[in-house]
Amino acid sequence: MAVSGQQAFSLAQIAARLGGDVLGDGETLIRRIATLATAGEGDIGFLANRKYKGQLQATGAAAVILSPDAADAFAGPRIVTANPYVYYARVAALLYPDEAGFTGMHATAVVDSAVPDSVAIGPHAVVGRNVRLGDRVVIHAGAVIGDGVEIGEGSVIHPNVTIYHGCRLGKRVVIHSGSVIGADGFGFAPEGKAWIKIPQVGAVVIGDDVEIGANTTVDRGAIEDTVIGQGCKIDNLVQIAHNCRIGDHSVLAGCVGIAGSVELGEHCVVGGAGMIAGHVTLAAGTMISGGSLVMKSIRKAGHYTSVFPLDEHDEWIRNAAHIRRLSHLAERVSELEKKLKENDANS
């Protein structure tokens, strides 16, 4: 069962704020959100995936959020809406509002720039010189904000985040603990057996309403900036290399790795552990399945997968051996087709 929200709302009150049609008792009180399988008194569940429809008959939820085509599948109190998953997200925000957090500047913070009175800076945080912070920015304990950084209003920098010099963040950006924004990209020039470091003189530019998960790294550009478009949602443990440009409202799931100079169009989705080779372009609206390796540009939007299916080990080895022989088999087929054409011509 989910942790209790701070206050209860009736179904009628929820619908008045968020829309949707209430069927059944509108005075039913809701205190928490829960899955259909675990919900009980005071909980509201939701059905966004049809494969869980069978759980509606056994759920103990006080109410359920449903789409119009499933409205009759549950007899109890319910809210009917076109997109139950989005509606659930908004109900969750209503029941579990963000904590007010702290205010003011902690005595142990080191701040070398003038900041608005509405900014909150936690213990042992560091704010460098010539930093520009918008109103209501929150910088949590141990975060380091380098010289010349700009952070837009309403942004939240969680504990132990490091933002290197010269990076620029838009409004309402959220960066979770341990992430590093603007470290040097992997740039080295070969000279004989040695590698000569290439100074990384670009920065990182992050648009409005971006959220970046814990322990994610976004490298600064080698010459031009690395750019994260507005509305992007980036999960934990993601690597974005130098000079990448991530289009507006794109989504990168956990452990995605993107090599240098990659360009993603708007509304791209890369599943967990997806890997994208350097200097590749993805068309707007492209979806990459989790675990896939993208080695060349994709010019037409669609859903792409390169994962070799899971199988028993011995069977997988046999199939892999066949795949390694495909090129040779293709050559033999081509030769056989050529001979057949010659035989037909001579007959």
**Overall number of domains in the chain:** 3
Closest of 128, 227, 215, 129 to residue 170, by C-alpha = 227
CA distance linking residue 272 with residue 297, whole number of Å: 19
Q: What is the pLDDT of residue 236?
A: 98
Residues 283 and 254 in one domain: yes
Residues 145 and 266 in one domain: yes
Examine residue 309 and state whether it is found in any structural domain, yes or no: no
Closest of 182, 186, 203 to residue 260, by C-alpha = 186
Residues 89 and 222 in one domain: no
Residues 143 and 213 in one domain: yes
Q: What is the pLDDT of residue 4?
A: 54
- Domain holding 190, by residue range, is 110-304
Residues 147 and 289 in one domain: yes
Residues 37 and 119 in one domain: no
Q: Within 10 Å of residue 164's Cβ, how many Cβ atoms?
A: 23
- One of 106, 242, 249, 279 is an active-site residue; which one? 242
Q: What is the pLDDT of residue 344?
A: 81
Residues 89 and 119 in one domain: no
Examine residue 4 and state whether it is found in any structural domain, yes or no: no
Closest of 88, 107, 8 to residue 48, by C-alpha = 88
Q: Identify whether 124 is a catalytic site residue.
A: no
Residues 207 and 295 in one domain: yes
CA distance linking residue 102 with residue 179, whole number of Å: 21
Residues 259 and 170 in one domain: yes
Terminal CA-CA length for the chain: 79
Examine residue 103 and state whether it is found in any structural domain, yes or no: no
Token representation of residue 278: 């350097």
Q: What is the pLDDT of residue 343?
A: 84
89-126 burial, b at 16+ Cβ within 10 Å, e below that, comes to ebbbebbeeeeeeeeebeeebebeeebeeebbbbebbb
Say how many CA atoms lie within 13 Å of 147 toward its Cβ.
Answer: 1
CA distance linking residue 184 with residue 204, whole number of Å: 10
Q: What is the pLDDT of residue 307?
A: 84
Residues 144 and 257 in one domain: yes
The structure's pTM equals 0.89
Consecutive 10-residue averages of pLDDT for the chain (347 residues): 70 98 97 96 95 94 97 96 97 88 93 97 98 98 98 98 98 98 97 97 98 98 98 98 98 98 98 98 98 97 92 93 89 90 81
Q: Which long-range contacts link 296-299 to residues 24+ away (Cβ below 8 Å)?
A: none
Residues 160 and 277 in one domain: yes
